[in-house]
């Protein structure tokens, strides 16, 4: 059950993050993912990341993060021989994923209409910033650009700091997950064969459920609220004696349990806090009032005690702390593969299947690592492969 996509061949023509992340999820589920890269340079992410030595070797940390379990071939899609070889690969594939700007594959003579003649069952997934049509279709699809266009930045941060970018490539990741979901859905269709148009902007907007619905249905425009929960109070981030914690006392009984535990029953009698609506209207005064008590003791004690009372609470952790948290460690999100005779730690699938988490089994490939094997499968002789390498077709 940890390889439900075993036997599925995916051609990964993508770069950097949204597409590679999509294909990484498919590889984790057992698909054979062949990364088709430009000769000599490959995926741009190969030279990106915090380790200059790895960047220089074409194995940058940004590349390593979402390319384990894949194979790599090189191919010049601008050459006629390269186009012929891609068509041969397509005939053996179930899925092709690309994240070029709309129209690039068509201009190369390798668009969906052409490739489906080679394989009528092909699932062709095109990931772009804004979709394959519309006035923005040719705009660059960088994560930060999409975060701005999607409205995410307008509601991130506080009133005096917004607009703020979410601190990781949110749009790329959500776009990649959406594409992986669409591909697995299309794999279950009968007959197979589809063109999937994935817009990173639309993928992000679709995850902004309450924010979008409050506007569409209730006519309310969301505003940046920092660490406060727009639907309730006290619900947000609070300072303690050492570290901040999150508290979500969204229900009246949770609010009452909270103030009683803080020995602040007097707050129950104050009219500005008497109802949920009043607490929301006076949230900042309420937070400061509660912090007067919360700052007397450390975060770990408050989290344990409040959760025991049925008042949802949790620590605010750094990334290293989150990865080292006993909950994450116990469930085994991070696994290891061997790269250059050393262990490389990577995050596995976010999905646990029947008690087992799909994990990468092989390290991310060096550029063109599988040229000899894959091209030989298509009938090329060793001399053909050597000639194509010399001509930089592969």
The pLDDT value given to residue 125: 98
Distance from C-alpha of 311 to C-alpha of 281, rounded to nearest angstrom: 21
**Two tokens at 184?**
């697995």
Domain with CATH 3.30.1540.10 in the chain: 235-316
Strand partners, 237: 246
| pTM, two decimal places | 0.93
Burial tier of 193 (Cβ tally within 10 Å: 0-12, 13-18, 19+): middle
**Two tokens at 292?**
């007067």
**Two tokens at 93?**
């594939």
Instruction: Domain 235-316: give its CATH code.
Output: 3.30.1540.10
The pLDDT value given to residue 230: 87
The pLDDT value given to residue 205: 97
Distance from C-alpha of 93 to C-alpha of 31, rounded to nearest angstrom: 11
Distance from C-alpha of 7 to C-alpha of 32, rounded to nearest angstrom: 7
- Residues 6 or more apart whose Cβ sits within 8 Å of residue 66: 17, 20, 21, 23, 24
Residue 76 host element (H or E): none
Q: Strands, DSSP E only, in the chain?
A: 9-12, 32-37, 70-74, 95-98, 123-128, 194-199, 235-238, 245-248, 313-315, 334-339, 342-347
Q: What fold does the segment set 9-207+332-390 form as a domain?
A: Rossmann fold (3.40.50)
pLDDT tens-digit map of 211-265: 999 999 999 999 999 999 988 999 999 999 999 999 999 999 999 999 999 999 9
pLDDT over 90 (residue 2): no
Could you give the angle at which helices 18-28 and 170-187 cross, rounded to 10 degrees?
50
The pLDDT value given to residue 33: 98
Domain with CATH 3.40.50.10540 in the chain: 9-207+332-390
pLDDT tens-digit map of 26-74: 999 999 999 999 999 999 999 999 999 999 999 999 999 999 999 999 9
Question: Residue 342 in contact with residue 355, Cβ under 8 Å?
Answer: no
Catalytic residues: 172
């Amino acid at each position: 059950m940890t390889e439900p996509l075993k036997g599925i061949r995916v051609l990964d023509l993508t770069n950097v993050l949204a597409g590679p992340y999509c294909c990484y999820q498919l590889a984790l589920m057992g698909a054979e993912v062949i990364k088709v890269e430009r000769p000599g340079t490959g995926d741009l992410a190969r030279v990106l990341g915090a380790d200059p030595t790895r960047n220089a070797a074409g194995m940058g940390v940004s590349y390593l993060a979402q390319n384990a379990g894949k194979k790599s071939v090189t191919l010049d899609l601008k050459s006629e021989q390269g186009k012929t070889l891609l068509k041969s690969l397509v005939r053996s594939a179930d899925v092709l994923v690309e994240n070029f700007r709309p129209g690039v594959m068509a201009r190369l003579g390798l668009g969906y209409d052409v490739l489906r003649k080679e394989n009528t069952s092909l699932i062709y997934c095109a990931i772009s910033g804004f979709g394959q049509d519309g006035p923005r279709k040719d705009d660059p699809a960088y994560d930060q650009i999409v975060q701005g266009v999607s409205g995410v930045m307008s509601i991130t941060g506080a009133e005096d700091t917004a607009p703020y970018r979410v601190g990781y490539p949110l749009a790329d990741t959500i776009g990649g997950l959406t594409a992986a979901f669409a591909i697995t859905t299309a794999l279950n269709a009968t007959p197979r064969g589809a063109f999937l148009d994935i817009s990173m902007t639309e993928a992000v907007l679709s995850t902004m459920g309450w924010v979008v619905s409050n506007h569409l249905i209730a006519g309310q425009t969301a505003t940046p609220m920092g660490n406060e929960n727009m639907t309730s109070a006290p619900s947000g981030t609070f300072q303690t004696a050492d570290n901040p914690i999150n508290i979500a006392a969204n229900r009246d009984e949770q609010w009452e349990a909270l103030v009683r535990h803080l020995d602040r029953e007097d707050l129950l009698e104050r009219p500005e806090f008497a109802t949920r609506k009043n607490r929301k209207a006076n949230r900042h005064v309420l937070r400061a009032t509660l912090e007067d008590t919360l700052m007397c003791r450390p975060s770990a004690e408050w989290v344990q005690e409040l959760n025991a009372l049925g008042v949802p609470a949790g620590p605010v952790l750094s990334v290293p702390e989150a990865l080292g948290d006993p909950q994450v460690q116990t469930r085994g999100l991070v696994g290891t593969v061997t790269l250059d005779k050393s262990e490389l730690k990577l995050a596995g699938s976010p999905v646990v299947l029947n008690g087992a988490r799909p994990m990468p089994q092989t390290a991310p490939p060096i550029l063109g690592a599988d040229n000899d094997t894959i091209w030989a499968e298509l009938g090329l002789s060793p001399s053909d492969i050597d000639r194509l390498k010399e001509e930089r077709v592969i």
